[in-house]
Chains A and B, each alone.
Chain A
């Protein structure tokens, strides 16, 4: 090995250590700022003024409306410049390949720019770009901006035009791995179910079950189950068989974790949709909260339900009152004011629902 080679390899070892440290330092510094997601690798800033492909465009700088702008932001030079070029091409209604790249650049810095998405959609359609390519680009973009509204609107537009939900279930699962209760993702899943009529597809219910199995407290998953079982029925009551299946399924989930409000709420929802009285599950509720043995309460939600059931029964107002007292003083004091309010309603039957 020549000296030269040894030198350069030593240098590279040292330099890579330096590089490594620098990355750590950068990360630390980024960690101290308030960015929502720490950036994994910072690409170098992209500029247009010295780019041959943009030579013909005169950027349109931002007019901030005088000497006293409100909520003025310390833009980076990169963002300011890119926005200037975006205004310039938008003002000309230019729809081109370079515009696509520019919109991508802006979206990465400011995904809440509502018209850049519309402008991008129009550009794709003007250029006749394959919609699959757009979805491929959208996937990592969505993963980067988990809480953005516009991305989902855009995705719906594209998938709607594509006319097929293929691959979307996998993508949704990938998103939920990052944030299993992400509202946008569940809403999007619901849109998919509706758009492609997947209400009665067994896989959809199975998938929902697997999400509930993974976290029995995931209220989004419970709500999705309701969406499938009841939401697709256009207001019609579920069949007796379905009602029975749902009640049994939910009872099992409650037994796993009695102090989990999601399945209790779900159970109430199913009963109401099936036009069954709450008293249908009175004995089940009693398993978790027997008013006769007030020291053994396993679920405040069971007690809550029993209070409602007793209030509707003849001559059982005292039991309802007792249940509400137990909630206010022992089993759910965080909501004492609410339980006392409910107690007050017992003496005004016309007000209680």
Chain B
């Protein structure tokens, strides 16, 4: 590491500026393609400021209430939230046209979290209606969709993104104990777990659907979902409780997650992969210049034999990719670290060079983070980049919950709400398998104890 080594500093002042700007001013027009994801951007904005410890500083009491009111303005009369005001027909909404303005799984998930971060008590949320609706959002094979159409048809993809958000909504509104809540049935948990297991790929990652390609986003969502419903593998040595669990091959999944660390940070590094003779020290950084690639007598010898100069290559900056043989991307640092933290296995990756990659390579001088090296910032990568740093314990950032993407403070606020405590107590006293059932955090702590 030469004298030009960057400082690897989190630019606290710029990051606050970036997020305050997102809060207080109009987002540029090129966010129009994300108009229907405004609730997602809303959560990113308030949660980012909360992680920065700036929420109280950034908001007056009146503004805070105003933002809470805005989220509620997206709540539908029949329960659930729309993710933006764009589909709202106002007083022209009726039974005939409301199918074009449906409750939306991501909209509801991000609305609830935004309210929690802003300190609302969720008393005005139509909680029972949401729980009833969640049951109707579950497909026969166990996965969840995005919206409900005419005749109860479930629209949207059939992948773990919606399963993650649906199980999180359930956790927010009624905790992780199984069984009905009053007269509202629970979702079909065994079917959901089956669905996740079916999407496990041969290489240990989890994909969009059975036999599709393993992808860090789907892997992260699936593992977080199993965590929300307490169906991750039991810690070794614990008496099996007979419940259907996933993932089925934890060691393969850990292998796949650890394999996502990559020193291939830029497209230029991987351009040569179009050619099948790319196994040179110059291009294949994951392969590293450590293996003897240039000397192996390959099929087309002439192209690789010959003294390729070894690239002096240190591992000061390590990013994470989302799939095998792809380049590093800020958001995958989150999608890979989050499941590892949930599984209590953050120790199998090296967080220091990942931290340096985020701070030196994708953190932007104007605040925020870009997708790849030298990219301009956008809210999605800016939020997830900062989440990872908070998960790694960056000084100055608040502690976060990796699965919910909110601060521990906000999560504690949610857990302190009386209606939620009552719901959990009621389900616990009803449920047969609720008795003596450990909380998620206790299970994670047990797992770490046994493995270390």
Report A's interface with B, CB cutoff 8 A. 33-36, 60, 62-76, 79, 83, 87, 90-93, 109-115, 118-119, 149, 153, 180-181, 183, 186-187, 190, 213-220, 223-224, 226-227, 230-231, 252, 255-262, 265-266, 268-269, 272-273, 288, 296-300, 330-338, 341, 345, 350-353
Binary CB contact string for chain B from 272 to 297 against chain A (1 if under 8 A, 0 otherwise): 01111111000010111011110110
Q: Which residues of A contact B90 (CB under 8 A)?
A: 60, 63
Top-7 shortest CB links A-B: A68-B66, A269-B202, A65-B73, A259-B287, A231-B211, A70-B42, A71-B41
Identify the closest chain A residue to B88 (Cβ). A63
Contact B67 A62 (CB under 8 A): no
Contact B114 A70 (CB under 8 A): yes
Contact A269 B203 (CB under 8 A): yes
Q: Which residues of A contact B101 (CB under 8 A)?
A: 115
Contact A266 B27 (CB under 8 A): no
Measured CA separation A334–B289 after assembly (Å): 12
Identify the closest chain B residue to A87 (Cβ). B89
Contact A227 B104 (CB under 8 A): no
Binary CB contact string for chain B from 374 to 396 against chain A (1 if under 8 A, 0 otherwise): 00101000000000000000000
The answer to whether residues A331 and B291 also contact, given A217-B278, A353-B249 and a CB cut-off of 8 A, is yes
Contact B156 A257 (CB under 8 A): no
The answer to whether residues A298 and B293 also contact, given A91-B97, A259-B284 and a CB cut-off of 8 A, is yes
Q: Which residues of A contact B318 (CB under 8 A)?
A: 334
Contact A70 B296 (CB under 8 A): no
Measured CA separation A298–B304 after assembly (Å): 13
Measured CA separation A319–B56 after assembly (Å): 58
Identify the closest chain A residue to B73 (Cβ). A65
Q: Which residues of A contact B37 (CB under 8 A)?
A: 112
Q: Taking each of A112, A231, A330, which has the highest tally of chain B beta carbons within 10 Å of its own beta carbon?
A: A112
Q: Which residues of B contact A333 (CB under 8 A)?
A: 288, 290, 315
Contact B296 A65 (CB under 8 A): no
Measured CA separation A226–B32 after assembly (Å): 38
* Minimum CB–CB distance for A328 against chain B, Å: 11
Measured CA separation A14–B431 after assembly (Å): 82
Contact B277 A256 (CB under 8 A): yes
Contact B315 A272 (CB under 8 A): no
* Beyond A181-B326, A273-B202, A298-B292, 7 extra complex contacts between A and B, CB < 8 Å: A62-B85, A70-B70, A110-B35, A183-B208, A219-B324, A255-B299, A353-B250
Contact B38 A70 (CB under 8 A): yes
* Minimum CB–CB distance for A129 against chain B, Å: 19
Q: Pick 21 A–B contacts, CB within 8 A, sort by A.
A: A66-B69, A70-B45, A71-B42, A75-B29, A110-B33, A113-B36, A114-B104, A115-B147, A118-B149, A181-B326, A187-B209, A187-B212, A215-B273, A256-B277, A258-B296, A259-B287, A260-B325, A265-B203, A298-B292, A335-B258, A350-B236
B349 at the interface (CB under 8 A from A): yes
Contact B27 A72 (CB under 8 A): yes
* Minimum CB–CB distance for A60 against chain B, Å: 7
B339 at the interface (CB under 8 A from A): no
Q: Which residues of A contact B287 (CB under 8 A)?
A: 259-260, 300
Q: Of A68, A187, A351, which one neighbours B70 at CB under 8 angstroms?
A: A68
Contact B323 A181 (CB under 8 A): yes
The answer to whether residues A219 and B213 also contact, given A259-B287, A259-B291 and a CB cut-off of 8 A, is yes
Measured CA separation A226–B287 after assembly (Å): 23
Contact B73 A256 (CB under 8 A): no
Q: Which residues of B contact A269 (CB under 8 A)?
A: 201-203
Q: Of B39, B86, B376, which one neighbours A113 at CB under 8 angstroms?
A: B86
Q: Which residues of A contact B212 (CB under 8 A)?
A: 186-187, 190, 223, 227
Contact B293 A258 (CB under 8 A): yes
Identify the closest chain B residue to A148 (Cβ). B33
Q: Of A67, A226, A297, which one neighbours B291 at CB under 8 angstroms?
A: A297
Identify the closest chain A residue to B68 (Cβ). A68
Measured CA separation A114–B148 after assembly (Å): 12
Q: Which residues of A contact B268 (CB under 8 A)?
A: none
Q: Of A64, A255, A268, A335, which one neighbours B85 at CB under 8 angstroms?
A: A64
Contact B276 A213 (CB under 8 A): yes
Contact A183 B213 (CB under 8 A): yes
B416 at the interface (CB under 8 A from A): no
B241 at the interface (CB under 8 A from A): no
Q: Which residues of B contact A257 (CB under 8 A)?
A: 276-279, 284, 298
Contact B213 A334 (CB under 8 A): no
Q: Which residues of B contact A223 (CB under 8 A)?
A: 201, 207, 211-214
Contact B88 A62 (CB under 8 A): yes
Q: Of B89, B96, B325, which one neighbours A219 at CB under 8 angstroms?
A: B325
Binary CB contact string for chain B from 183 to 217 against chain A (1 if under 8 A, 0 otherwise): 00000000000000000011100011111111100
Contact B276 A71 (CB under 8 A): no
Within 8 A of A (CB), among B1-60: 22-23, 26-39, 41-42, 45-46
Within 8 A of A (CB), among B98-131: 99-102, 104, 114
Q: Taking each of B156, B202, B210, B348, which has the highest tally of chain A beta carbons within 10 Å of its own beta carbon?
A: B202
Within 8 A of A (CB), among B215-249: 215, 236, 249
Q: Of B26, B202, B250, B350, which one neighbours A73 at CB under 8 angstroms?
A: B26
Q: Of B73, B251, B324, which one neighbours A66 at CB under 8 angstroms?
A: B73
Contact B208 A114 (CB under 8 A): no
Measured CA separation A114–B168 after assembly (Å): 22
Identify the closest chain A residue to B40 (Cβ). A71
The answer to whether residues A262 and B350 also contact, given A83-B86, A257-B277 and a CB cut-off of 8 A, is no
Q: Which residues of A contact B214 (CB under 8 A)?
A: 223
Contact B73 A330 (CB under 8 A): no
Identify the closest chain B residue to A303 (Cβ). B291
Q: Which residues of A contact B376 (CB under 8 A)?
A: 34
Measured CA separation A216–B279 after assembly (Å): 10
Q: Which residues of A contact B211 (CB under 8 A)?
A: 190, 223, 226-227, 230-231
* Minimum CB–CB distance for B199 against chain A, Å: 12
Measured CA separation A169–B215 after assembly (Å): 24
Q: Of A111, A213, A297, which one neighbours B33 at CB under 8 angstroms?
A: A111
Q: Of B30, B202, B259, B315, which one neighbours A261 at CB under 8 angstroms?
A: B259
Contact B92 A76 (CB under 8 A): no
Measured CA separation A187–B209 after assembly (Å): 9
Contact B32 A75 (CB under 8 A): yes
Q: Which residues of A contact B274 (CB under 8 A)?
A: 180, 214-215
Contact B36 A256 (CB under 8 A): no
Measured CA separation A241–B259 after assembly (Å): 31
* Minimum CB–CB distance for B443 against chain A, Å: 17
Q: Which residues of B contact A83 (CB under 8 A)?
A: 86
Q: Of B149, B288, B345, B378, which one neighbours A300 at CB under 8 angstroms?
A: B288
B347 at the interface (CB under 8 A from A): yes
Contact B279 A260 (CB under 8 A): yes
B437 at the interface (CB under 8 A from A): no
Q: Of B32, B147, B157, B262, which one neighbours A110 at CB under 8 angstroms?
A: B32
The answer to whether residues A76 and B29 also contact, given A60-B89, A334-B286, A353-B250 and a CB cut-off of 8 A, is yes
Contact A215 B276 (CB under 8 A): yes
Contact A217 B325 (CB under 8 A): yes
Contact B325 A256 (CB under 8 A): no
